Amino acid sequence: MVAPQQGDSRANGNSLLDALRAVDIDRYLGLLLMPEDVRDDLATLMLFNAEIAAIRDRIREALPGEIRLQWWHEVVSGGRAGEAEAHPLASRLIELIARRSMPVAPFTGMCEARVFDLYDDPMPDRGTYEGYAGETASALLQMSVFVLAPEATPKTAMASGHAGVAQAVAGHLMMLPITQRRGQVFVPGDLLAATGLGRDGLLEGKSSDRIDAAIRAFAGLGREHLAKARSAFAELPAGTRPAYLPVALAEPVFTRAEALGSRCLESSPRPSQLRRQWRLWRAARSGRI
């Protein structure tokens, strides 16, 4: 198996922050408000997340995507040493895992969960979606906490779990124009069914009233998990809180998506960059996501 090309994450020849800014502006903006001494390590985690999340964008068929994900799975498991050393991001990641004695299972779980992204299978139900978000966005939050305050991670699993689902919902709401063009549906099937829609009905985009209801129900799922995350967050040690700064960007997306409804299929509910920066700054100052 040949090492995948670095792609858009550009960890080679550029600073980690510049590389992250190019592929994940929201986490980049949050990272600027996190402790300076851990920024490179957190950026490495975020770049890994961006790298495997973007595989769908770089392939025409699912099999090459599965091969890339398997390569990353083997790298974080300790294999592919020679190939990993020649890959800037992979070499940084395995050095980080070793230096901080980080658990490997969350990284392999992220790779396994991302296989879903490569296909157009419908998301069957809310429970499956929550599991997917737990293996992706929640895992990234929990590993970020590990970098900031490893001794606190047993106390942060619930906060990371709920916050990650909220982040995932916000992300998929913002991606609706893209995923609709791909023929890809992340809105859970049971939420669609409750509004009288199926996968094909959402993709066709013709039943505006039902799509309005489905998008609001999906945003409601995000709000539910965000509320639970905030309850759990209030009990966490202060040193863990910077890891959750990007979660502060979820609620404005829910608000915009609820207002736009079916128009989210044409126009992403992503707030402006200025509003995102202000929201992150306020969260950093207040300590509330």
pTM attached to this predicted model = 0.93
Q: What is the dihedral of CA 148, 49, 214, 256, to 10 degrees?
A: 60
What does the block give as tokens for 129? 């979606």
Spatial contact of 167 and 246, defined as CB atoms under 8 Å apart: yes
Spatial contact of 183 and 203, defined as CB atoms under 8 Å apart: yes
Give 65: exposed, middle or buried? Use CB within 10 Å, 0-12, 13-18, 19+: buried
Q: What is d(CA 107, CA 75) in angstroms, rounded to the nearest whole number?
A: 10
Supply the pLDDT for residue 246.
96
Q: What is d(CA 27, CA 144) in angstroms, rounded to the nearest whole number?
A: 11
Across the range 97-114, mean pLDDT stands at: 98
Supply the pLDDT for residue 22.
95
Express each pLDDT in 51-75 by its tens digit. Answer: 999 999 999 899 999 999 999 999 9
Per-residue pLDDT at 95 exceeds 50: yes
Per-residue pLDDT at 7 exceeds 80: no
Q: Which distant-in-sequence residues (6+ apart) come within 8 Å of 92 by Cβ?
A: 11, 16, 44
Across the range 70-94, mean pLDDT stands at: 92
What does the block give as tokens for 191? 């939420």
Return the domain boundaries, the chain: 1-119, 120-289
The pLDDT mean for the chain works out to 93
Supply the pLDDT for residue 1.
57
Per-residue pLDDT at 9 exceeds 70: no
Over 181-246, what HEC string results?
HHCCCCCCHHHHHHCCCCHHHHHHCCCHHHHHHHHHHHHHHHHHHHHHHHHHHCCCCHHHHHHHHH
Fold entry, domain 120-289: Farnesyl Diphosphate Synthase (1.10.600)
Per-residue pLDDT at 236 exceeds 80: yes
Q: What is d(CA 49, CA 61) in angstroms, rounded to the nearest whole number?
A: 21
Q: What is d(CA 186, CA 183) in angstroms, rounded to the nearest whole number?
A: 10
Across the range 225-238, mean pLDDT stands at: 94
Per-residue pLDDT at 13 exceeds 50: no
Q: Which amino acid is at 121?
A: D
Supply the pLDDT for residue 6.
52
Express each pLDDT in 186-221 by its tens digit. Answer: 999 999 999 999 999 999 999 999 999 999 999 999
